[in-house]
Structure 1
Amino acid sequence: ISNKSFPQMELPPRPALFDFNGVSMTRYFTDNWENVQNFKARPDDIVIATYPKAGTTWVSYILDLLYFGQTCPERQASIPLQKRVPFLDISLPSLPTGKDLADQLPTTPRLIKTHLPVQFLPKSFWEQNSRIIYVGRNAKDNAVSYFHFYRMNSAVPEPGEWSTFLRSFMDGKVVYGSWYDHVNGWWEKKQTYSKLHYMFYEDLIEDCGREIDQLCSFLGLSPSVEEKERIKTAVKFDNMKQNQMISFTTVKYMNQTVSPFLRRGKVGDWKDHFTVAQNEEFDEDYKEKMKNPTLKFRTEM
């Protein structure tokens, strides 16, 4: 059957990268810019902010279960996560924008995800004193995960070979710009904005229960021991991978036969991708760009 009989299946052409106020972007994340910037936040909104492929889906799902896992079980079974926790920045042809989905959320609190660097977050979130959860992931694993995501996602440019993509990543010439600027910008914000909880992907892998406890204390939640166990089981990587409401299988611009949206979910996967020379060069570059000595990532465990 040709695509013509199913026009809704047509994938948009891969977009071009351009410099947007100092950050590399594509039009699918800037077309709705003014509306996104004018988003009306509420004091009880919770923002999940990350650099792409740093554990966004994982933490979104944890939060969704913490707040609505028991009160709205039917939500879990029938509504894909990307509608329960909309992606504020996105604006793709023939789909509702992330901003519209966020506006239409029936839940309290509203859970909203973004990949925006700190300077681009809509001002109303700061004005309303909304809570923000930032998740950071070590640069090497983040680069590898982003490479595979680029391969399967037609809303971003073609990645080229791994070596080409790694160079682009190091130069900040990928969608959402420099990993260094992103993780550092949000880390600095944490020093002055008390409603920001900064988490690490590696800590979640090491002890998910402990991280859920810390999230609960930040959010003022006190789920029962049983409830926490239930959540811990649901958010195990393999369980999420099997869960069609979580694994983005319904998203038409992602080709999961090229690479699954939830791929490996581990620390140290970079060792299967980096050559010795790439690793040495990356480490040198990292020393130069990672200016903040208080922000530390683990590349192995």
Structure 2
Amino acid sequence: MELVRGDYRPPLEYVKGIPIIKYFAESLGPLQSWQPRPDDLLISTYPKSGTTWVSEILDMIYHGGDLEKCHRDSILTRVPFIEFKVPGCPTGLEVLEDTPPPRLLKTHLPLALLPKGLLDQKVKVVYVARNAKDVAVSFYHFYRMAKVHPDPGTWESFLDKFMAGEVSYGSWYQHVQEWWELGRTHPVLYLFYEDIQENPKREIQKILEFVGRPLSEETVDHIVQHTSFKEMKKNPMANYTTLPVEVMDHSVSAFMRKGVTGDWKNVFTVAQNERFDAHYAKKMAGCNLNFRSEL
């Protein structure tokens, strides 16, 4: 099925009160009866929080740092995106069926929409969280280039929607907090985007320990080098340039845009920043998660 003009920028659909990309919402029914394998590994993030970065790191870990094997296909195929559904492309579930174990999977789903089997099977989770201000800016540019989203409108109006949780996948505040709490009862390695940026080798060592796959220091250094933003931005197997322009238009904004911490300072006005900080303090009150919005 080809994308037709009428399919561009459909409104979000609410599922259990959570706004989701229309096509992705259609995949959630079949996902609920899907049975994961106990040796699956789930990469979970709120959008624009380092999902592709950590997916690439883990794929390299699973293949012992073999770069050639990690160039075998696009990241969407190597690490199936379980709720993915776009006209004209294989669904996440279809890709999963063709993926040999042990499998890496990824999702942005909040817990309310997560397939029950993932929790029942105690599937290990690597969760990556990124500071809210940089996520908001990156998400705005992603909305602009990924046409499965509604039109983002102005930055000002998008920021209002982001703060209210009226963007795809709902509230950032709820997402980062509920996955943090899940770690009390479920095997979750909770990482921060800013920590990976600051010291990728240290954070990769945490991942290796969590997944039980020790690698030599030389191999870890090799993974650090090949999963740098600069390398991944030019890697067509990681930068999403293999998707049709009707789905992602890289001429509007690159999927991998800047990959830095603190870019929000170039976008937020003083008034927006003050309003955001006051709102953030209320939403995160009583939560012991600490985010760094600059390095």
User: Would you call these one fold, judging by a TM-score over 0.5?
Assistant: yes
TM superposition shift of 1:239: 0.5
Give SS of 1:65's match.
Answer: helix
Partner of 2:263: 269
Q: Deviations over 1:179-215 (max 9, x none)?
A: 011111101111221x111110010111000000011
Tell me how large the CA RMSD over aligned residues is. Answer: 1.4
Structure 2: distance between partners of 1:157 and 1:292? 33
Partner of 2:217: 225
Does structure 1 residue 144 correspond to structure 2 residue 137?
A: yes
Give SS of 2:190's match.
Answer: strand
Instruction: Using the aligned pairs only, state the percent identity.
Output: 45
Retained in 2: the 8 A contact 1:184–1:292? no
Structure 1: distance between partners of 2:240 and 2:15? 28
Structure 2: distance between partners of 1:34 and 1:75? 33
Runs (4+) of structure 1 exceeding 3 A deviation are 7-12
Structure 2: distance between partners of 1:281 and 1:34? 38
Q: Deviations over 1:237-286 (max 9, x none)?
A: 00100111110001111000100000100110000000000000000000
Partner of 1:30: 25
Inter-CA distance 19–34: structure 2 relative to 1 (3 Å threshold): closer
TM superposition shift of 1:77: 2.4
Retained in 2: the 8 A contact 1:150–1:159? yes
Partner of 2:105: 112
Does structure 1 residue 81 correspond to structure 2 residue 42?
A: no
Partner of 2:15: 20
The equivalent position to 1:291 in structure 2, one of 285, 289, 293, is: 285
Structure 2: distance between partners of 1:287 and 1:36? 35
TM superposition shift of 1:69: 4.6
Retained in 1: the 8 A contact 2:16–2:112? no
Partner of 1:177: 170
Q: Deviations over 1:142-177 (max 9, x none)?
A: 000000000000111110111010000001010000
Q: Gapped runs of 5+ residues in structure 2?
A: none
The equivalent position to 1:205 in structure 2, one of 194, 197, 216, is: 197
Does structure 1 residue 103 correspond to structure 2 residue 97?
A: yes
TM superposition shift of 1:15: 1.1
Retained in 1: the 8 A contact 2:13–2:25? no
Structure 1: distance between partners of 2:19 and 2:3? 28
Retained in 2: the 8 A contact 1:86–1:102? yes
